[in-house]
């Protein structure tokens, strides 16, 4: 018989971790939206620690599920006795929502960063360059770098 109390206790910890991770992701998204590059840079160590903790929990989760003959969380929930099923269903729902929300925030942040980089590239794609006679012309950065007149 599966140790449902052990499974529930583990997923309570796992979900608490993902709540903490989601809180961090909201904070990071706010930094990205506000363009707070220095704060974002200093938050990288926090993010790395959260990712390492996630990897540790994931290893524990896989080990725990291996004890169930490879059953998924959904399968464990469906097969659980009534006294545990409600709690497991609640945990499964919440964990799924947390993971989905974290992915959604990361995808949105990636789009924002990509758009900002595109704008930076378009703004720096042409440079004002003056030749030896004081004439202004537009050149691409690579052409300026190659030019001997700069």
List pLDDT tens digits, range 83-101.
999 999 999 999 999 999 9
Distance CA 75, CA 48 (A): 32
Q: Which CATH class is domain 4-125?
A: mainly alpha
List pLDDT tens digits, range 135-144.
766 665 554 4
Residue 131 has which token pair?
């030749």
Closest by CA position to 87, among listed 13, 2, 5: 5
Distance CA 72, CA 81 (A): 16
Predicted TM-score of the model (pTM): 0.77
Domain residue extents for the chain:
4-125
């Amino acid at each position: 018989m599966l140790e449902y109390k052990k499974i529930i206790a583990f997923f309570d910890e796992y979900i608490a971790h993902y709540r903490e991770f989601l809180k961090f992701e909201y904070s990071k998204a706010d930094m990205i939206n506000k363009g707070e590059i220095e704060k974002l840079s200093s938050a990288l160590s926090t993010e790395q620690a959260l990712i390492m903790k996630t990897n540790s929990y994931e290893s524990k989760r896989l080990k725990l599920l291996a004890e169930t003959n490879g059953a998924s969380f959904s399968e464990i929930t469906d097969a659980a006795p009534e006294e545990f099923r409600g709690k497991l269903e609640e945990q499964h729902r919440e964990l799924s929502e947390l993971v989905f929300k974290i992915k959604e925030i990361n995808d949105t942040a990636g789009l924002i960063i990509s758009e900002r980089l595109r704008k930076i590239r378009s703004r720096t794609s042409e440079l004002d360059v003056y030749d030896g006679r004081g004439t202004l012309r537009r050149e691409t950065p690579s052409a300026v770098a190659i030019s001997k007149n700069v």
